[in-house]
Amino acid sequence: MRLTEQPSKYNDLEKKSVDELIRDINAEDQTVALAIEKVLPDLGRMIDAIEHQLRNGGRMFYCGCGTGGRLSVLDIIELPNTYGIDPEMIQCVLAGGVENLVMALEEKEDDEDEGWKVLTERHVSPKDFVVGISASGTTPFVLATLKKCKENGIPCGSFVNNPDSPISKYSDYPVEVITGPEFVTGSTRMKSGTSQKMICDMISTTLLIRLGRVEGNRMVNVRLINNKVVDRSVRMLMERNPQLTDYEFVKKAIVECGNVKKAEAYLKEKGVL
C-alpha cells in the first residue's frame, strides 16, 4: 500500500472537538516543511536544470491532475502580473484542461493521451522542461506524459509524495517528498497538497529571482494591475531613489513606463537619476 494511502495515525475523528481537530491537523501540517527540507538538494538540482532551459529560450510546463494540477495552475496565474513575464514562459498542462479548473474531473487522471497531446499542440521541444506533479507517484496522466517526454528527448522533473514511485523513474530530476499518511486517510489534498503548494512557490519564485525579475527583495517588474500596486510601485521607486520626493511626478513616470524597472531606466536616461 502506498504511504499516502496508509491509515491515519488519528482515529475516531468524528468524536473529536473542534479544538482537538485543528490542533492535530496543525501538528501534521508542521511536518510538511521538514519533509521538504530533506529533499532540498534534489529540488535545487531540478530548479538549476529548469533555469538552464529558460535562459536558453525554453519554457517550463507543469503537468498534473487533481489538487497538484490545480495548485500549479494557481501558481502560474500569478506570475505574469507579479513578475512581468510572458505567460508562455511557465505554463500548465492540467488533466481536463485549465479552462475546467473548478470542475473535479478526477476521471481525467486516467487519460494517458491528453497530456502529450496538449504538449505537442504547444510545440514542446527539447528546449523546454516538463515537471510532473503527483501525490501517489503513479497517476497515469502524468506518468504517460513523462514517458513521452523521455522518448522525445524533453528534459523532465517531478515531485511526488511516495518513495520509489514509477513517475520518479521516468523523471530526470525526481523529488520525492515523503509526507506520510494523511490526517484523513487517503485525503492527499491535505499534507501532500500543502507540500505541492510550497514546492510550486519555491520553483517559480526561485526561477524568477534568478532570471532577474526581482531586485533586492522587490517586485520591480510588477504590472500595474490596480491602485494598490501603483501606489506600492511609486513608494518602491522612491525608496530605491531617495532623491525623488514628488509622489505625483514618480507616479506619472511609472504609469507611463509600465513598471518600476522601466521607469527607473527612463528617469536615468533623462538625467533625473
3-state secondary structure 138-206: CCHHHHHHHHHHHHCCCCEEEEECCCCCHHHHCCCEEEECCCCCCCCCCCCCCHHHHHHHHHHHHHHHH
**Catalytic residue list contains 176:** no
Give me the pLDDT at residue 101, please: 73
Closest listed residue to residue 194, CA positions, set 35, 24, 76: 35
According to the model, what pLDDT value does residue 38 have? 98
Q: Choosing from 51, 99, 106, 109, which is the catalytic residue?
A: 109
The pLDDT of residue 100: 75
pTM (two decimals): 0.94
The strand pairing partners of 131, in sequence order, are 62, 157
Question: Which of 147, 146, 64 lies closest to 106 in space, CA to CA?
Answer: 64
The pLDDT value recorded for residue 75 is 97
Rounded Cα distance, 236 and 220, in Å: 8
- C-alpha dihedral over 26, 30, 36, 37, to 10 degrees? 170
Amino acid at 57: G
Q: Which of 37, 78, 107, 239 is catalytic?
A: 78
78 as an active site residue: the answer is yes
pLDDT tens for the chain, 273 residues: list them.
899 999 999 999 999 999 999 999 999 999 999 999 999 999 999 999 999 999 999 999 999 999 999 999 999 999 999 999 999 999 999 998 887 777 666 667 888 999 999 999 999 999 999 999 999 999 999 999 999 999 999 999 999 999 999 999 999 999 999 999 999 999 999 999 999 999 999 999 999 999 999 999 999 999 999 999 999 999 999 999 999 999 999 999 999 999 999 999 999 999 999
pLDDT at 23: 98
What's the pLDDT tens digit per position in 210-219? Answer: 999 999 999 9
Write b or e for each residue in 81-101: b if 16 or more Cβ atoms lie within 10 A of its Cβ, otherwise e. Answer: bbbbbeeebbbbbbbbebeee
| Cβ partners under 8 Å of residue 152, min gap 6 | 124, 126
Amino acid 107: pLDDT: 66
What pLDDT score was predicted for residue 238? 97
Query: Which fold does the domain 3-210 belong to in CATH?
Result: Rossmann fold (3.40.50)
List pLDDT tens digits, range 144-180. 999 999 999 999 999 999 999 999 999 999 999 999 9
- Of 187, 209, 183, nearest to 135 by C-alpha is 187
